[in-house]
Each structure stands twice: as C-alpha cells, then as structure tokens.
Amino acid sequence: MSEDLVTLEPYRRQGFGSQMDFIGGVGLLIIDLVNGFADPEIFGGGNIPGAIAETEKLLAEARAAGWPVAHSRIVYADDGSDHNIFSVKVPGMLTLTENAHRSQIVPELTPVSGELVVRKNVPSAFFGTNLAPWLTERGVRTLAIAGAVTSGCVRASVVDAMCYGFRPAVISNCVGDRAIAPHDANLFDMGQKYAEVLNLQDALPRLKEASTRP
C-alpha cells in the first residue's frame, strides 16, 4: 500500500471527506493578497506569486458573474497600540499599517466600487469584522476562497466561514503559502473536514451552476 493510501485509510474508514454540494448564491473572498505577501523578502515566497496570477482570473470571472466580492487586509495601528498575540508571534505584522505599501492589496487585484475591504489584525477575516453579515445580506451561501497563506489566514477564515454556515470552496491554485509542505497539508486537511478543495478549472463550472439556482 502506498504512503498516500496509508494516510487516507483512517479518513476514509471514519467517513471524512464527503463531497459537499455548492448552493447559490456564490461569493468570493480574497484573503490578504497584499504587497507584503507578494514579496519573499517580507512575508511571501513559495507558490504565492502563482496564486495571485490565478486569483486574477478568478476575480475576473466573479465580477463578470456579478458575485459579491470581499477582500481582506491585515492592518495594525501606526503606533502598534492594538498589538496582540498574532504580532507577538510574528512581530513584523506590526509593519502592516493602513498606509504602508506592504499592506496594500496587489495592483492586479485592486478592489472596485461595491467590493468590501475587511481590515483585520488576526488570522480570520471573519473574527471581529462585518464580513459574515455583509455576505449574508447579499445572499451568499457558497463562498469561493483565494489568498494567502494557506496554512494561516486562509485556513482560519475557512474554518470560520464553515462555522457561520457558508459552504467554503477553497480554490487550490488560488491560495498560496511561503512553503509548500504546509500548503499541501492544510489543503488536505481542509478538504477532509471543512471545505471543498478544487482547482480553478474544476471549480468554475460548479460555482457558476450553483449561482443560477437557490
């Protein structure tokens, strides 16, 4: 038996990884694709550049389809007065202030009028923000998710999305991490427990079909 099958066997035996249908309406959440996470000298590296390029395609599809779109940024106060456990573990997070270049959404994904920009200083885009009610008000039930990093803010947001009753669709080539091993491990785990995980090519037909029905 291969290592992959050995790994999967207890999950299959215990009933993890069931397929989850997508139901309308559909929304898109793009997590923390800002300049600092695009730069390997700051918080980036790994496969994040590829995730940004694929997310540009996903965002174009979402806008064409009229899906609600939300973006998130990590933003701390200029004086660090809102420092927290996240910034204790990663002190450089405090450099992501409102007007800092590294905290700005990458130009390829610049929000347009009507798209929500969530500011946060913890991993989840839902914790302490108005994201969940904003999505609910717009009828979102299935939430496509892109962004960085897979093992951190993406995972935290996926878990909270599920807890709020949204059906997360993690677009595997639209999320990235500074190292591939945690990226792969977290995609596997989210797919077993919390979300549908599929690439952009496979996701789009299912998302478009879901958006046409209640």
Q: Which two tokens stand for residue 80?
A: 């660090």
pLDDT (average), residues 6-33: 92
The residue among 164, 210, 209, 171 whose CA lies nearest residue 190 is 171
The pLDDT tens digits for 165-189 are: 999 999 999 999 999 999 999 999 9
**pLDDT above 50: residue 62:** yes
Find the radius of gyration of the CA atoms of the chain.
17
Number of Cβ within 10 Å of residue 80's Cβ equals 13
**Domains delineated in the chain:** 23-210 (3.40.50.850)
Report helix, strand or coil for 34: strand
- Write out the catalytic residue numbers: 153
**Torsion sign (Cα): 75, 78, 82, 86:** positive
Does the global pTM surpass 0.85?
Answer: yes
